[in-house]
A and B are shown apart, each in its own frame.
Chain A
Amino acid sequence: MLEIKNISKSFYRKEALNDVSFSVRKGEVFGLLGPNGAGKTTLIRIINRIVEQDKGSIRFEGNLMTEKDLLHIGYLPEERGLYKSMTVQNQVLFLGRLRGLSKKDTLAKIDYWFDKFKINDWRKKRIEELSKGMAQKIQFICAVLHEPKLLILDEPFSGFDPINVELIKQELIEMRADGRTIILSTHNMKSVEEICDRAILIHDSKKIAEGSITELQSENKEGLYAVRFRGSMIAFVNALWTGFELVDKDILGDDRFVAKVKMRGENSFQDLLKVLIGQIEIEAAWEILPSMQDVFIELVQPVKKEADEK
């Protein structure tokens, strides 16, 4: 769907992107992750042809991207605004028409989205009369109105209350089911886990990781396992002996626990199970993958330290 190849960009002497390459497949939600100032927004602007790259190329559906392809892209920038004095309907109509829709089509889409979001009575309101969250909804509608093949969302959940965050998430999941491709740039790692299929992590203008969410989590796992069992906690700890380390525990009842255990040395999950069987009654055991939040911190911090040391 979208192929980014060796993109580099500098502003004055500051490097914003350094040889970044990745590809986004059709119908997936692709996470664009990275700390503030990593170069995500610059990359998004380059894809939207707002900023020109110094080096590298972008292919859209197999061909070098042109201005015409912009009609198939929906964009919700992080720094987003609307014309304050315009009415909601006129605002959406204007932006829809800029995206190549006819007036009639735009009005039909407005009806559809306003019904869906139950905001029909906002039509005649001026943007300045809306709350931040309300305006965010309008901005989201503006971005998806022309049914783009590729939707690029930069921090789409900021400014929304939890109910509206859910609403937007559901919309994104529906769009993915429709075969649309979504690039999601966010710091909200929970939503990345929930809706992203794959992601890349950019830090200090370079790509430092890429893969599916599970891959990223697996690559950064710390050998942590959870065991749910019946029995005595003392017996459990005694059984672990020196090859394993009890990291955390949850008490579920008088004799029911979930224990989080870290492997030491060459010991494996199999070894853990072996030492535990007979000592306690194992109900379930599983590997704990790191959250994307942990992955993010894990990947970004060493690079940051290195940079700071330099």
Chain B
Amino acid sequence: MKNSLLIALREFKERIGTRSFITLSVLGPLSVLAMIFLLFTFGGNSKQHWNVLVADHGNLLESKIMPGKSGAVSYSFYNGVINDADFAEGKKYQKFDALLEVNEKVLTNKIGFVFFREEPDLRMQSRVQYHLERRLEEVLIERFKTVSLEDYRKIKQPLTLRFANVYDPNEESSNLEGWAGLFFGALIFAFIFLFGMTILRSVANEKSNRIVEVLLASVSPKQLMLGKIIGIGFSAFLQFAFWLIIIGFGLYFMRENIFPDMLDAGNMNVTQLVIDSAEQSYQESHFAAREYNQFIELVFERLQFSNILGFFIIFFILGYLFYGALFAAVGATTGSESDGQQFVLPLIFLLCLALYAGYYTLNYPESPMASLFAYLPFTSPVVVMVKLTMGYGAGEVYQIYVSMIILLISAIVMLLIASRLYKNGILQFGHRVRLKHIFKWLRKT
């Protein structure tokens, strides 16, 4: 173990001394911050006008809703039930872009449903949500006359509008958290690939400059491989820590200095909003705020970072060990660094599969394939991140631990397999390793 640590220490020192490490440690998180900033600042823009049909079975809204001055949304009312399938296909409904379903329950559970034909941008989603929220406040205040509108707004709970594609209602479009999860998963894989390639290059390098024989006279191949994976892993972790600190600090800075009024409920200027409620233009100007609120709220409020971070780190480490061993084995079985490039292709394929699995899970979180991807060690680091941010059901939390245990066991097995391949491959100089050799090495005890 001491030797592994010595090797790890050497690898660690070598990595963190390189210019690329320092550059990536600073520029990487800065570019992510820039991306977040852009996301906060600019929303998407699709359809400029939205024609919404409100299916208000109980006439809860009394056919009234304040669409704002901008005229971006216009509402029509129907005091009955409209099936989403009817809305999708029915000729008379084709002129409407979306169906907003309102019933008595919305007052208590604060959940409304919107079925759209074409996914609205965030600005539009915010608008509808804002309009409905304000109308519901008025309805509630009428019902509970003892509470003033101002007091009510202080104690109110936010309304959640669930947006669904009317042609594919099971796919909920409001899965920003899922995208964040995919981002975390992709981040894991970016790190794994980057540092996996570092392992591969380092192994191939030692092999081609022939120091490996000197090393192997002092340490076993297993110790050498483990030391390498640990050392490079620590440098990856250090880089990750840099990312965390810089992004964390950047987000804090943005929260405090660039977008303060959009984050703090107290700063949302609710009283001002109430006072100026007649001034529609004022409200409209706040839609911009509401628009990036989705992202800002996502980053600062909706994502449970403490929870995500813990699992992120665990899946990061396990995923790294799993793939790191694989990269080390590939490095050891290739004759030279350039020879190793062709063996990287299957690994890239695996990484792409993982990212695809994350995307698939984002779209079909409940599908059996998504569950399978969450358990497969090749894909689980991404998929679990996606599922985690989208939220596991109360009875499903065990799945996260199952994924974790499967990944742990797979990482151990992969380390054992890789060390066997490594042991046999590392001293194969000059001749090409064929698949049959690899199977032979694996069979050897």
Residue among A83, A99, A139 with max Cβ neighbours from chain B (10 Å): A83
Q: Which of A45, A70, A80, A83 contacts B218 (CB 8 A)?
A: A70
A142 CB within 8 Å of chain B: yes
A98 touches B210 (CB 8 A): no
A67 CB within 8 Å of chain B: yes
A139 to B211, CA, bound (A): 10
Chain B residues with CB below 8 A from A86, complex form? 14
Residue among B6, B429, B437 with max Cβ neighbours from chain A (10 Å): B6
B345 CB within 8 Å of chain A: no
B220 touches A67 (CB 8 A): yes
**Per-position contact with B for A70-81: 1 when CB-CB < 8 Å, else 0?**
100101010111
A83 touches B213 (CB 8 A): no
**Per-position contact with A for B170-211: 1 when CB-CB < 8 Å, else 0?**
000000000000000000000000000000000000100111
Min CB distance A158 to B, Å, is 13
Chain B residues with CB below 8 A from A94, complex form? 6, 10
A94-B6, A94-B10 given; A82·B209 CB < 8 A: yes
**Chain A positions 51-72 with a Cβ under 8 Å from a chain B Cβ:** 51, 67, 70
**Per-position contact with A for B377-390: 1 when CB-CB < 8 Å, else 0?**
00000000000000
A50-B213, A94-B10 given; A79·B429 CB < 8 A: yes
In the complex, residue of chain A having the shortest beta-carbon distance to the beta carbon of B13: A90
Min CB distance A60 to B, Å, is 14
Chain B residues with CB below 8 A from A97, complex form? 6
A84 CB within 8 Å of chain B: yes
B1 CB within 8 Å of chain A: no
B217 touches A50 (CB 8 A): yes
Chain B residues with CB below 8 A from A99, complex form? 218
Chain A residues with CB below 8 A from B10, complex form? 83, 94
B215 touches A98 (CB 8 A): yes
A48 touches B217 (CB 8 A): yes
A85 touches B14 (CB 8 A): yes
B213 touches A77 (CB 8 A): yes
A95 CB within 8 Å of chain B: yes
A81 touches B427 (CB 8 A): no
A97 to B219, CA, bound (A): 11
Chain B interfacial residues counted at CB < 8 A: 22
Chain A residues with CB below 8 A from B412, complex form? none
Min CB distance B198 to A, Å, is 14
B267 CB within 8 Å of chain A: no
Q: Which of A49, A70, A81, A85 contacts B210 (CB 8 A)?
A: A81
In the complex, residue of chain A having the shortest beta-carbon distance to the beta carbon of B17: A85
In the complex, residue of chain B having the shortest beta-carbon distance to the beta carbon of A74: B217
**Chain B positions 195-246 with a Cβ under 8 Å from a chain A Cβ:** 206, 209-220
B217 touches A83 (CB 8 A): no
A85 to B10, CA, bound (A): 12
B63 CB within 8 Å of chain A: no
Q: Which of A49, A51, A83 contacts B211 (CB 8 A)?
A: A83
In the complex, residue of chain A having the shortest beta-carbon distance to the beta carbon of B227: A98
Chain A residues with CB below 8 A from B210, complex form? 77, 79-81
**Per-position contact with A for B434-445: 1 when CB-CB < 8 Å, else 0?**
000100100000
Min CB distance A286 to B, Å, is 44
A82 to B206, CA, bound (A): 8
Chain A residues with CB below 8 A from B148, complex form? none
In the complex, residue of chain A having the shortest beta-carbon distance to the beta carbon of B219: A98
A50-B427, A84-B209 given; A75·B214 CB < 8 A: yes
B6 touches A81 (CB 8 A): no
A70 to B218, CA, bound (A): 7
A50-B427, A94-B10 given; A81·B209 CB < 8 A: yes
In the complex, residue of chain B having the shortest beta-carbon distance to the beta carbon of A47: B217
A222 to B440, CA, bound (A): 50
Min CB distance A35 to B, Å, is 18
A70 to B6, CA, bound (A): 17
In the complex, residue of chain A having the shortest beta-carbon distance to the beta carbon of B444: A52
Min CB distance A83 to B, Å, is 6
Min CB distance B138 to A, Å, is 71
B160 CB within 8 Å of chain A: no
In the complex, residue of chain B having the shortest beta-carbon distance to the beta carbon of A75: B217
Residue among A80, A81, A82, A94 with max Cβ neighbours from chain B (10 Å): A81
A82 to B3, CA, bound (A): 17
**Per-position contact with A for B1-35: 1 when CB-CB < 8 Å, else 0?**
00100110010001000000000000000000000
A51-B427, A98-B3 given; A80·B14 CB < 8 A: no
A80 touches B215 (CB 8 A): no
In the complex, residue of chain A having the shortest beta-carbon distance to the beta carbon of B426: A50
B211 touches A98 (CB 8 A): no
**Chain B positions 50-78 with a Cβ under 8 Å from a chain A Cβ:** none
**Per-position contact with A for B420-434: 1 when CB-CB < 8 Å, else 0?**
000000010100000
A95 touches B213 (CB 8 A): no
Chain A residues with CB below 8 A from B216, complex form? 48, 50
Min CB distance A110 to B, Å, is 16
A171 to B102, CA, bound (A): 94
- 27 intermolecular pairs with C-beta atoms under 8 Å apart: A12-B437, A45-B213, A48-B216, A48-B217, A49-B217, A50-B216, A70-B218, A75-B213, A77-B213, A77-B214, A77-B217, A79-B213, A80-B214, A81-B210, A81-B211, A82-B211, A83-B10, A83-B211, A85-B14, A86-B14, A94-B6, A95-B214, A95-B218, A97-B6, A98-B3, A98-B6, A139-B214
Top 7 closest pairs, chain A to chain B, by CB: A81-B210, A81-B209, A81-B211, A98-B218, A75-B217, A79-B210, A77-B213
- Give 5 A-B pairs besides A67-B220, A81-B210, A83-B209 with Cβ atoms closer than 8 angstroms: A75-B214, A80-B214, A81-B206, A81-B214, A98-B6
